[in-house]
Structure 1
């Protein structure tokens, strides 16, 4: 018996499916929107100007102009010697920022280094591309649940590592790996979530996952507001999926009961799993069909 046939006997929609669907979408869609778009806040570019040497005044040391009625100071240059002429040089003593704690302010990714912020995001997206090519094949071969959970656990490890990165290059490398693992979580979760429903409802289930993604996008702005320190923000969006650590045991139950329900208390399970509409014949029909089915014994097959 295929999974679609099992779902036909059990019913189209039920409480158990709903719970597991939400769990999958929270870890597989909601939190992945954070990883995908977090660079907008991790790499936020504040207003900045050259740091003025002690004993000098800002308006005497940094070129300025009037823009829309307010004074705007040059971001990348300062006067070489105010007392002699108005020649300028690149900032010599670093920068001062309007707000602190992004990767830009920590590693001074401004002026000649400003392209490094976009480069880091491009490297992350390159990881996403690699992950999209790899993890679909891996999930078909080793089983969706196994690949999905391993991707989540590894994403936690490398995401936390990025939060403690001490330089731009280690941060970017860790973000590349996190981006690849994002696809191991995102793509596989979409397939798992939709496969929990009958073919007639799968389009709806697939569209519904986008609501979790959109909710993740909206909540990210609030998180960034509450956690202005980029390390704290990166740490939170990485550690949130710790809730997925026990998923192996209670999501895997869906696969096992769908295949071996007659051995694990089907009569108690079907009323919860099956449709909220009464379907008194589902248990008897399913038991009869299961008794005639030959079962593969490969765990990878069960979870694929």
Structure 2
């Protein structure tokens, strides 16, 4: 049931690709009734000189999309190229749009083009800014009030906001709603993820963590299919949002996390949930699991997030983690969402590109599921990032040497880039959680989550830069940037230690020593365990053996 909410998280995460898509457009011809983008009437042909040639180097449009000539048709003079001489250049106040891809988008409805086209990138970035706020707010509420309450509340808010978005009266209202939706997604996907993982045993956590990603990918493909048939942002939104009303029943169907209840010493409630689980699974357990619960008198080790920066080793390691790793990684977020947001700019069929962008995540998720415990976290992450980066950067060459002829090659390379980004996106969750010492794990993950939003905020600007830059440079710039940053991020992860089959760091001191020498660290724990209840043994130099191993 939690996985189904992930499907809608995938839909809402990339709705802006549809709603803020800018169709091909040109200035509306003054005095021409029923003017459409592809009109070719005799009257329109007579006024064709009312257009201005495109800016130098921009071969993507036939005419300037934002300006036209203003002149008196009764007293007009033309040069040899049939352009008016005694005319002034004015900005368009009305536009006509191509309906070859969409009948209407939010951008075309409110004319967010030309001088205001930067607002589309801003609104997309505000969605990720909302994620930053939501990560802080709903993350803390989840720890304080419980996973179930936070999850269901944010889920209902997200459904209500997406419905309300259909009646946005301006781009300002739309931007506010998109920011709020971004915030609520952090109470749905991450909190739902944690709730699902905490409802299963340790041996099933990997599956609970990866399977939910399949549904996120399914949401991307579902959005592409609905968009293909509806082709109008209003109806797409209604169709995608209506089924989510059924989530209201989750208030009664999904239980609270027993682990959270135990952490709050609410043992009776936890026992009730576990007894129900045992009955469904036909397992016999004690009727009162926590009747003999005894609190340990040993004080738990403590730590502060600033200690992650207290030494050179911890400082460099933490900076690399912040650069690469978190539940919604900074750089991986830029690569992942950047490629998804850029799906419509790859050329070819818009809907096919978006569908493939979601479909390619399925084998990527499967690869992580099969190999993360075989090849290790670091190798899996590094190779995935470099693969994605090289594929994205390689798209520059087929674009420059024949975009139309090499369209299939461009799309294939972009999808390989998305494959690598998805694999690394999923791998790093486990990796980053294992790298932080236990005493500051939650604080470290929270810091990484906040840093990750920078990538999400920047990604739309990079994805939309093709329209701002223009020409061939604009077409290759987004994928080039995503590719280069991906390669740098992958190489920087080589500095991090491997965590596969390793005893994870518990204290800050463990974190400092973690990864320096896997063999000596393992031997140290073994020797300390063997000598725990024995008199100290000395070597020929008078050193106590367990202390000498600690020194080593």
TM-score for the superposition, normalised by structure 1: 0.76
SS at match of 1:89: strand
Matched, 1:24 2:2: yes
> Quick one: which of 110, 121, 127 aligns to 2:130?
127
Gap change, CA 1:219 and 1:261, over 3 Å in 2: closer
Gap change, CA 1:211 and 1:139, over 3 Å in 2: same
Moved segments of 4+, more than 6 Å: 67-71
Gap change, CA 1:76 and 1:291, over 3 Å in 2: closer
Contact 1:101 1:229 survives alignment (8 Å): yes
Equivalence for 1:34: 11
Matched, 1:234 2:237: yes
SS at match of 2:2: helix
Deviations 1:187-229 (A, max 9, x none): 1011011112111220222012111111111221111112211
Equivalence for 1:147: 150
Tell me the distance in 1 between the aligned counterparts of 2:213 and 2:256.
25
Gap change, CA 1:187 and 1:221, over 3 Å in 2: same
Contact 2:21 2:105 survives alignment (8 Å): yes
Equivalence for 2:63: 73
Equivalence for 1:90: 90
Tell me the distance in 2 between the aligned counterparts of 1:254 and 1:144.
7
Matched, 1:272 2:297: no
SS at match of 1:63: coil
Q: Structure 1 stretches of 5 or more lacking a match?
A: 1-22, 275-281, 295-304
SS at match of 1:287: coil
Map 1:32-71 onto structure 2 (within 5 A).
32-55=9-32, 57=44, 58-64=47-53
Gap change, CA 1:47 and 1:289, over 3 Å in 2: same
Tell me the distance in 2 between the aligned counterparts of 1:30 and 1:224.
16
Equivalence for 2:289: 290
SS at match of 1:79: strand
Equivalence for 1:193: 196
Tell me the distance in 2 between the aligned counterparts of 1:160 and 1:68.
39
SS at match of 1:197: coil
Contact 2:147 2:195 survives alignment (8 Å): yes
Gap change, CA 1:253 and 1:112, over 3 Å in 2: closer
Root mean square deviation of aligned Cα: 2.9
Bigger shift: residues 32-41 or 80-89: 80-89
Contact 2:26 2:64 survives alignment (8 Å): yes
Tell me the distance in 1 between the aligned counterparts of 2:179 and 2:59.
43
Bigger shift: residues 134-143 or 88-97: 88-97
Number of residue pairs the alignment of both structures matches = 258
Contact 2:2 2:192 survives alignment (8 Å): yes
SS at match of 1:159: helix
Matched, 1:259 2:271: yes
> Quick one: which of 181, 185, 190 aligns to 1:182?
185
Q: Structure 2 stretches of 5 or more lacking a match?
A: 33-42, 78-83, 259-267, 294-552
Contact 1:124 1:178 survives alignment (8 Å): yes
Tell me the distance in 2 between the aligned counterparts of 1:273 and 1:133.
36
Shift of 1:289: 5.6
Gap change, CA 1:48 and 1:207, over 3 Å in 2: same
Bigger shift: residues 230-239 or 105-114: 230-239
Which has a greater percent of strand? 1
Deviations 1:107-163 (A, max 9, x none): 101100100111111111100111011211101111101110000111112221111
Tell me the distance in 2 between the aligned counterparts of 1:129 and 1:291.
38
Bigger shift: residues 120-129 or 82-91: 82-91
TM-score for the superposition, normalised by structure 2: 0.43
Gap change, CA 1:37 and 1:254, over 3 Å in 2: same
Tell me the distance in 1 between the aligned counterparts of 2:61 and 2:288.
79
SS at match of 2:21: coil
Which one has the largest radius of gyration? 2
SS at match of 1:73: coil
Gap change, CA 1:69 and 1:172, over 3 Å in 2: closer
SS at match of 1:245: helix
Gap change, CA 1:291 and 1:167, over 3 Å in 2: closer
